[in-house]
């Protein structure tokens, strides 16, 4: 062991070994892995080792596909067998909704280029797995590149390949302390202190403690997980080929062949946390006591699905702990304020996701950002609110118990809620608000007309559809009142504020008293934000964006900060309401101390609204004349009451974000996480129209110019009209031209004003012309589509500009 390395990876499981391998593969050799015991000690050694194609996040599914491809590569490179069994795998559906969901998932796989997946009948499932009872099965999805590996062999393959590229592995050496220095970190271990520029927390069951060593409280917790191994089963012994993996979603089980018997794993609804503050340091190659009674119902369903189990002997029980995050996805990436500290934690499916995690993290460290859009596993998707132990317990438990439970797109889950609520929460609840959640904050989705109204979970248009229609109608014909507490607000000040904003934003800055849309780019020219910059005329500026990106954006700002600039996240201290619609100005005029009519489109200023001293910006995502009114959090309820009283005779109605999503589609306005992501460039998304090409240096300028002058992107986002019946596009549905896949839908919904099903889609440029006839799949069924002109509602923008 040397006293100095460029990178120290803490943790010798599959994730740590993958990070080490990828760093070495991409050219960094002065690196080491420190393991308190031996490689695989923790969760890796007892994992079932299965790898699957399915993931609810298509970006993560693509990284899983990368991991599967990588396994044979590291086997050859290292000389260590990974024990690959490419058996194929199938996911079964036992309810009509689940079967529709699998058909939709099949089409999403096509969108992201995974073509070795296809749908199967119950009879085909039975032929593929002869010990399977197909009773109650409606269909399934079969993936050719699914199977399982030898877990210990796979970790040693990653490690061996890393060693051959110059990396060092140090076992039996526990990390005792982490000390941040001006140049990086001091890693204090049992065998001495190591100085390094970067340290990676890949500590698995000990991630919590290694986070606390750096002053970080990670939202992770281990949970216990069962599987059993049978003795030899004659029916399996008689087969001439190995059975595929099987996931029985309604039975909460997964199964694979183990020698001439079976492995049956359980995701029970009665979950059990274990050592929430992290595993004991002397824990490693041990298991927890099995508890068959706690998983009795799931075992019964498993024994019914595989009748041969009813007479098979159990050779061994495995009850081991795995670490989970609140949403079940990994926690990966840098931590704000802890320069050189990287997370690679909560990878509960390490042998499936470990390769993608290692690749993305290594790219991030070396090149400044990963190749793929990995926000779904970025540690910055959580903030301080997620550090609460009860929040962690409720959300990780909810994820585990629902691992095989279907969650509908319009379903709201209860764990960890309500946590943060707007000031007028109680009043809006009394008025019928039905709530969603973003970054811990409750957001109104719509206002139900009756106290006993319950929205039914569905893959299609729900029974809330007519409610959303009425809210959209109110905005278009009179006025709607929307709680905008769920916007992020950053206040920028200091003598260098204007210069700094000019550098980090790709657009021109607004003049005093004005607002401007501002794309923010990374060094590679891809998007880092679709933001609004407001200049208040007193030397202070606001940056406004998506509330759930607060930590993500603050990390970006922090990484590019200057000493003559101060930035303050005021998102929870300053909240507000938006008033939008043709009557919005009439509602505000009697309340204001100034001439609100003089505020121009994209103008901003200070106004009194009744008793509330507010900041107002004249802009609107709905496409109507609109005003965003910002006030102190303590005055939120007062502002709401004041506005509703002023609008009572002018048709003002409270609306939620579901209506806003419909209204913005009618204007072809994109949103972050759909049309705008860190995987896309401004030219792909149309955000290049806001770039100020004439100004000097700004982040991402060279890359953006290269794209502009190099002929432009291969794909662009365009609006579609879809011949839908009772369901609308949601995102990642494939788009076809004469049987050729030419793109995918980024988001969709119903335009209640124009009376059409609408979507935005990323398409090949040769298929992006207005009028192009296309097809897509909505809830698995093929529907006709066509490219339409942008903004099917009010294409000239007269309503929004008040002309």
Confidence of residue 404 (pLDDT cuts 50, 70, 90): very high
Give yes or no for residue 535 having a pLDDT over 80: yes
- Has domain 487-570 been given CATH number 3.40.50.970? no
Read off the pLDDT band of 55 (50, 70, 90): confident
CA distances from 116 to 106, 146, 160, 350, 781 (A): 10, 10, 30, 22, 19
**CB–CB of 8/199 below 8 Å?**
yes
Assigned architecture for domain 4-332+338-365: 3-Layer(bba) Sandwich (3.50)
Q: Which residue reads 């992020």 in tokens?
A: 488
pLDDT band at 61 (very low <50, low <70, confident <90, very high): confident
Question: What does the pLDDT average to over 711-719?
Answer: 96
| pLDDT for residue 125 | 98
Q: Which two tokens stand for residue 35?
A: 């393991």
State the pLDDT confidence band at 473, using cuts at 50, 70 and 90.
very high
Task: State the chain's mean pLDDT as an integer.
Answer: 96
d(CA 11, CA 39): 8
d(CA 625, CA 601): 9
Instruction: Provide mean pLDDT across the span 538-557.
Output: 97
Mean pLDDT, residues 514-519 taken together: 98
| pLDDT tens track for 571-599 | 999 999 999 999 999 999 999 977 899 99
What does the pLDDT look like over 191-247, one tens digit per residue?
Answer: 999 999 999 999 999 999 999 999 999 999 999 999 999 999 999 999 999 999 999
pLDDT of residue 390: 98
Q: What is the pLDDT confidence band of residue 803, given thresholds at 50, 70 and 90?
A: confident
Burial 314-323 (b: 16+ CB within 10 A, else e): eeeebbbbbb
The model's pTM is 0.96
Whole-number Å distance between alpha carbons of 799 and 753:
14
pLDDT average, residue stretch 600-619:
96
| 431-486+573-674 classified as CATH 3.40.50.620 | no
Degrees (nearest 5) of the Cα angle 336, 341, 344? Answer: 100
* Whether the Cβ atoms of residue 421 and residue 441 lie closer than 8 Å to each other: yes
Measured distance CA(444)–CA(800) in Å, rounded: 23
pLDDT for residue 57 is more than 90: no
According to DSSP, the β-strands at 4-10 and 192-201 are: parallel
Tens of pLDDT, residue by residue over 329-353, are 999 999 999 999 999 999 998 899 9
Give the span between the Cα atoms of 564 and 38, in whole angstroms.
48
Residue extents of the structural domains in the chain: 4-332+338-365, 431-486+573-674, 487-570, 714-794
Lowest mean pLDDT among 107-111, 185-189, 448-452, 633-637: 107-111
> What mean pLDDT is predicted for residues 369-391?
96
User: What pLDDT score does 60 carry?
Assistant: 81
Report whether 424 contacts 445 (CB < 8 A). Answer: no
Query: Do residues 67 and 74 touch, judged by C-beta distance below 8 A?
Result: no
Percent residues over pLDDT 70 in the chain: 100
Is residue 696 very low, low, confident or very high in pLDDT (cuts 50, 70, 90)?
confident
Percent of the chain at pLDDT above 90? 95
User: Is beta strand 175-180 parallel, antiparallel or unpaired with respect to 147-148?
Assistant: unpaired
How sure is the predictor about 59, in pLDDT bands with cuts at 50, 70 and 90? confident
For range 413-419, the mean pLDDT: 98
Mean pLDDT of 155-165: 98
7-37 pLDDT per residue, tens: 999 999 999 999 999 999 999 999 999 999 9
Per-residue pLDDT, 594: 73
Residue of 52 and 487 predicted with greater confidence: 487
Q: Is the pLDDT of residue 442 over 90?
A: yes
End-to-end CA distance of the chain, in Å? 72
The CA-atom distances, in angstroms, between 454 and each of 411, 447, 471 are 11, 11, 17
Indicate whether 707 pLDDT > 90: yes
Q: Are 245 and 253 in contact (CB under 8 A)?
A: no
Task: Give the model's pLDDT for residue 353.
Answer: 92
User: Is 714-794 CATH 2.40.50.100?
Assistant: no
Categorise residue 668: left if φ over 0, alpha if ψ from -120 to 50, beta otherwise: left
- Residue 114: pLDDT over 90: no
List pLDDT tens digits, range 779-801: 999 999 999 999 999 999 999 99
Strand partners, 8: 32, 199
What is the rounded CA–CA span in Å between residue 601 and residue 138? 55
What confidence tier does 65 reach under pLDDT thresholds 50, 70, 90? confident
Q: What pLDDT sits at residue 284? A: 86
How does residue 53 score in pLDDT terms, banded at 50, 70 and 90? Answer: confident
Kindly state the average pLDDT of the residues 715-730. Answer: 97
Rounded distance between C-alpha atoms, residue 759 and residue 741, angstroms: 17
pLDDT at position 90 over 80: yes
Q: Which residue has the higher pLDDT, 51 or 31?
A: 31
Tell me, letter by letter, the H, E, C secondary structure of 632-661.
EHHHHHHHHHHHHHHCCCCCEEECCHHHHH
């Amino acid at each position: 062991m040397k006293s100095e390395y460029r990178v120290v990876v803490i943790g010798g499981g599959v994730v740590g070994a993958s990070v080490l391998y990828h760093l070495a593969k991409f050219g960094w050799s002065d690196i080491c892995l420190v393991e308190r015991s031996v490689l695989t000690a923790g969760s890796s050694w007892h994992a079932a080792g299965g790898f699957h194609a399915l993931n609810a996040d298509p970006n993560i599914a693509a990284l899983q596909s990368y991991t599967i491809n990588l396994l044979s590569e590291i086997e050859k490179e290292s000389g260590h067998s990974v024990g690959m069994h490419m058996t194929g795998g199938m996911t079964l559906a036992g309810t009509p909704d689940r079967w529709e969901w699998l058909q939709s998932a099949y089409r999403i796989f096509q969108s992201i280029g995974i073509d070795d997946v296809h749908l199967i009948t119950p009879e085909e499932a039975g032929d593929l797995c002869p010990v399977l009872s197909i009773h109650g099965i409606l269909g399934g999805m079969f993936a050719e590149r699914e199977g399982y590996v030898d877990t210990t062999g796979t970790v040693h393959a990653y490690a061996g390949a890393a060693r051959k590229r110059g990396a060092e592995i140090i076992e039996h050496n526990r990390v005792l302390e982490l000390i941040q220095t001006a140049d990086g970190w001091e890693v204090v271990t049992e065998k001495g202190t190591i100085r390094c520029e970067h340290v990676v927390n890949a500590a698995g069951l000990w991630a919590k403690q290694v986070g606390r060593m750096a002053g970080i409280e990670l939202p992770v917790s281990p949970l216990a997980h069962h599987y059993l191994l049978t003795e030899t089963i004659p029916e399996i012994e008689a087969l001439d080929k190995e059975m595929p993996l099987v996931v029985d979603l309604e039975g909460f089980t997964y199964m694979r062949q183990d020698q001439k018997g079976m492995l049956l794993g359980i995701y029970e609804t009665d979950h059990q946390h274990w050592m929430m503050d992290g595993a004991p340091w002397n824990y490693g190659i041990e298991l927890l006591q099995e508890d068959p009674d706690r998983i009795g119902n799931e075992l019964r369903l498993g024994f019914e699905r595989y009748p041969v189990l009813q007479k098979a002997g159990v050779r061994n029980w495995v009850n081991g702990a795995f670490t989970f995050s609140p949403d079940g996805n990994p926690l990966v990436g840098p931590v704000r304020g802890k320069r050189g500290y990287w997370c690679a934690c909560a990878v509960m499916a390490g042998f499936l996701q470990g390769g993608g995690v290692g690749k993305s993290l290594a790219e991030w460290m070396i090149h400044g950002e990963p190749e793929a859009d990995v926000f779904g596993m970025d540690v910055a998707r959580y903030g301080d609110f997620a550090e609460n132990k009860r929040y962690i317990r409720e959300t990780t438990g909810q994820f585990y118990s629902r691992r095989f439970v279907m969650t509908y797109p319009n379903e709201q889950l209860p764990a960890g809620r309500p946590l943060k609520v707007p000031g007028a929460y109680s009043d809006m609840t009394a008025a019928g608000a039905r709530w969603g959640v973003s970054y811990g904050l409750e957001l109104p989705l719509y206002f139900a007309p009756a106290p006993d109204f319950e929205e039914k979970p569905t893959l299609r248009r729900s029974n809330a559809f007519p409610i959303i229609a009425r809210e959209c109608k109110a905005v278009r014909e009179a006025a709607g009142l929307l709680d905008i507490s769920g916007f992020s607000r950053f206040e920028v000040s200091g003598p260098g504020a204007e210069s700094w904003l000019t550098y980090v934003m790709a657009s021109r800055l607004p003049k005093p008293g004005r607002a401007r849309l501002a794309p923010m780019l990374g060094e590679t020219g891809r998007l880092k934000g679709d933001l609004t910059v407001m200049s208040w005329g007193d030397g202070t500026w606001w940056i406004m964006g998506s509330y759930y990106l607060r930590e993500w954006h603050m990390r970006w700002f922090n990484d590019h900060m200057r000493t003559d600039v101060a930035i303050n996240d005021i998102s929870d201290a300053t909240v507000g309401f938006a008033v939008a619609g043709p009557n919005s100005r009439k509602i505000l005029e009697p309340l204001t101390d100034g001439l609100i009519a003089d505020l121009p489109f994209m103008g901003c200023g200070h106004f009194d609204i009744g008793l509330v001293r507010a900041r107002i910006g004249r802009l609107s995502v709905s496409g109507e004349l609109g005003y965003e009114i910002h006030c102190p959090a303590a005055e939120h309820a007062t502002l709401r009451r004041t506005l509703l009283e002023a609008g009572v005779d002018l048709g003002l109605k409270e609306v939620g974000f579901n209506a806003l999503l419909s209204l913005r589609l009618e204007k072809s306005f994109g949103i972050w996480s759909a049309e705008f992501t860190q995987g896309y460039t401004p030219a792909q998304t149309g955000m290049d129209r806001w770039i100020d090409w004439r100004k000097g240096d700004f982040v991402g300028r060279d890359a953006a110019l290269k794209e502009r002058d190099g002929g432009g992107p291969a794909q662009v986002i365009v609006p579609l009209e879809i011949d839908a019946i009772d369901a609308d596009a949601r995102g990642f549905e494939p788009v076809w031209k004469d049987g050729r896949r030419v793109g995918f839908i980024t988001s969709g919904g119903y335009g209640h004003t124009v009376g059409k099903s609408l979507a935005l889609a990323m398409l090949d440029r040769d298929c992006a012309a207005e009028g192009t006839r296309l097809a897509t799949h909505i809830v698995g069924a093929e529907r006709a589509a066509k490219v339409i002109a942008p903004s099917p509602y009010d294409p000239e923008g007269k309503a929004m500009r008040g002309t």
